Amino acid sequence: MINGEPAIPHLESCNPSAGEWGFGALPTGNWFVSIPRVRVPDAAVDNIGFLHQQYRALVELHGSSDVPLLQPILSVDGLPVPWEQLSWTHERCWLPTFRGNWGGVHLEGRLFAPIAGERGFVWVLEGWCEGPLGDAHEVTLGWRGAWEQTIHSSRLAKPMVGSRHVGLSREQADALFLEFRGAIPVFALAFCPSEEVETDFALGQEEAVSESYGQRLKPHQEIATDGPGALSFSMKNSTRLQPGERKSLALYVGIGLKEVAAVSAARDLRRRGWRDLLADTRLWLTTRVVPWADKRIEVMLNRNMFYNYFFSQGICLDSEELALVSSRTSASLRSATYRDIDAMLRSLPGLLKLDPAQARRMLEYAFTTQLRNMGIHCRFIDGAVLEPGFDLDQLCAPIQALALYFGATGDRSILMDRRVQTGVNRALEVLAGRKHPQASLYSTVLSPDDETSPLPYVTYSNARVWRALLDLAMIYDEIRDVDRAEDMKRLADDVRRDIDNHCVIGTPAGPAYASAVDLRGNHALEDWPNASLKHLPLFGFCAADESVYSNTLKWITATQEQDCRTANSRTPAENGVECSLVALLNDLMLGSEDALEVLLNSRLDDGIACEALSSNGNPIGVGNAALAGLLAFALRAKIEGVSF
């Protein structure tokens, strides 16, 4: 049995122990609320976030330097429970859960965000006693917190200016609310406990306002500030537990555009009850967990699969519309930004088997909301330009994702969708504008490493164009548009011919692909890890045994060895040896056993995909939801034979 439920054969291995795996923090959330870090071992939540379309950003509430935004209160017989006494698991690879035993009192806590579009989350604390009759214990359960900063994050995190309010709701006498106001209320968070609690709140070091609720209603009270200092609060309940007696206290946390909306969201969760909400959430996760014999693979795959599902997309609080992002945490440099490569070729493959219907909605978003600036390197969640610069890889990504989705689902109706057809036509229009006057090669401003390309015609990017044109030929065949299908095949043949004619150069090893050319006799030999020429076989451009490809690997290897010799001549502090995670995952999809071992022996960012790994396997950068999708897909490609 697991928490009173029948054991499911593979479920124990998908309840990874935080201690065993070295996790310092556990993420959770749903599409309305993101909780990127539940700290181990002290159960502290540093920040809570949500997407806001009008602000084109992720908005986060942060705690103070001394007190987190939200943290449980646990004491037995008047003594705080030492955090080190608690053991942690990540139940179903998504629900942070702790357990402990203190003086004969068992304590358990679980934080979860209900899956089915709920505007909030629930934190449940439970305690029960064992021992001889009459050996009772005083047990206090509750939460404390502090709200000091409100962060607006879209690529960079910056503080928001406005007034912060904490108080007791007019709508619900036992509900504590936090509200941020500018000229009007902007958003609110509300806390509804499952039963009577003692509630305190204060600004900084001021004396706390304290109320205890039973059957009586108390007048509305509120504290506000538009300056520095944290708004602090606490909610707790004490009871005397007899042996065999069990005590549960749940905190229902709702989010909304103002106090009334947040309180209503919390009350709605409370009406449904935490047991039913938890059962539904567990069932949803359990039916989607991917079991595997190797526990390391199972935990890494499922942890990243769920992180990608909930942190690479969300429902905006204000518009209630879907937004795709690279990450839903302000700690990431890609926080609340949209890039086609991230959304279409990293996130979408990672959740395609998990939720095909959602993969379709992602495609619809790419071909509508993000339509007007197709090919631009980085955009806001409403499609406006964030970082200008044309990127050929970004332009091709939605088309490749459309073909991947159709191949996996056979859903022909999306190919007939007028919005998608309009998007495809727009992509072809933009592509035509990048064509060389004579050759069938297409220019880019940005290289695959997001910097200005040394020369305009990048070999890897044009190989992606070739793949996208063949994908479109397949799509037009499916909808019986024979003329367009033939046009796409002809264009693809032309691109392939001119890559061979203009991008193959002489090297000491023999004819090989240059990284970029200008069609005036100049070429570049510079391999980009995130879009390496050695990964051309992944999308069928060439076979691994073709001579030009083999020669290309030789110059890439020689360049890497030279870079390594240069790095080793430096001091350790200057060395900075690192491995791109995208490159490692692409190696894995090409069948590398070494890549799998490097991945499984790495720490990542608390088990979540990050930008790169150091030479000793430590993370470089924080967890990235889009890369988590690619990691989950790459592992499935390895263990199930899935491919792009």
How do residues 385-394 score in pLDDT, each as one tens digit?
999 999 999 9
| Predicted pLDDT of residue 643 | 59
Give the pLDDT score at 598: 93
- The pLDDT of residue 295 is 93
Beta 71-76 vs 79-80: how paired, if at all? antiparallel
Mean pLDDT of 33-55: 97
Name the least confident of 99-108, 348-357, 463-472, 624-633. Answer: 99-108
- For residue 552, pLDDT beyond 70: yes
pLDDT for position 254: 98
- What does the pLDDT read at residue 448? 86
Please report the pLDDT score of residue 257 as a whole number: 98
pTM: 0.93
Summarised one tens digit per residue, pLDDT across range 101-144 is 988 899 999 999 999 789 999 999 999 998 766 688 999 999 99
570 pLDDT exceeds 80?
no
Q: Of 139-153, 579-593, 629-643, where does mean pLDDT reach its minimum? A: 629-643
Q: Give the Å distances, CA to CA, from 232 to 65, 152, 167, 201, 213.
A: 12, 21, 11, 5, 19
Is residue 597 over pLDDT 50? yes
| Phi/psi at 27 (5° precision) | -85, 155
Structure tokens at 284: 């949803």
Mean of pLDDT values over 494-511: 95
Q: Tell me the three-class secondary structure of 119-164, residue by residue.
A: CEEEEEEEEEECCCCCCCEEEEEEEEEEECEEEEEECEEEECCCEE
- In whole angstroms, what separates CA 446 from the centre of its chain? 25
- Per the prediction, the chain carries an average pLDDT of 91
**pLDDT confidence bin for 211, thresholds 50/70/90:** low
Q: What is the DSSP letter of 279?
A: H
Mean pLDDT of 263-288: 97
Q: What's the rounded Cα separation, in Å, for the pair 331 and 307? A: 15
Checking if the pLDDT of 220 tops 70, the result is no
Model confidence at 564, pLDDT cuts 50, 70, 90, reads very low
Alpha-carbon gap, residue 457 to 55, rounded angstroms: 37
Q: How many CB atoms lie within 10 A of CB 161?
A: 9
Rg (CA), the chain: 27
Range with lowest mean pLDDT among 329-338, 476-485, 569-578: 569-578
In the prediction, which pLDDT does 642 show?
Answer: 61
pLDDT, residue 134, reads 64
* In contact, 29 and 113? CB cutoff 8 Å: yes
pLDDT over 50 at 396, yes or no: yes
- Angle at 309 (CA atoms; ends 306, 313), nearest 5 degrees: 145
Name the pLDDT band for 565 (thresholds 50, 70, 90). very low
Query: By C-alpha distance, which of 395, 515, 494, 523 is closest to 436?
Result: 494
Does the pLDDT value for residue 567 go beyond 70? Answer: no
Tell me the mean pLDDT in the region 274-289. 97
Q: Phi-psi region for residue 46, left (φ > 0), alpha (ψ -120 to 50) or beta?
A: alpha
What's the confidence (pLDDT) of residue 20? 78
Q: Where are the domains of the chain?
A: 16-286
Examine the pLDDT at 607 and tell me if it is beyond 80.
yes
Reduced to 3 DSSP states, what percent helix, strand and coil does the chain have, rounded to the nearest 5? 35, 30, 35
Rounded to an integer, the average pLDDT of 18-32 is: 90
Dmax over CA atoms of the chain, in Å, equals 92
pLDDT at 640: 78
Dist CA 454 CA 588 (whole Å): 29
pLDDT at 450 over 50: yes
- Give whole-number Cα distances, 91 to 97, 200, 245, 279, 306, in Å: 7, 32, 25, 13, 12
What's the whole-number mean pLDDT along residues 625-636?
96
CA 517, CA 456: separation in Å to the nearest integer? 7
pLDDT at site 102: 87
pLDDT of residue 6: 36
Q: Which two tokens stand for residue 402?
A: 């459309």
Q: What is the pLDDT of residue 219?
A: 45
pLDDT value of residue 574? 33
Angle in degrees, CA 377, 378, 384, rounded to 5 = 115
Topology given in CATH for the domain delimited by 16-286: Beta-galactosidase; Chain A, domain 5 (2.70.98)
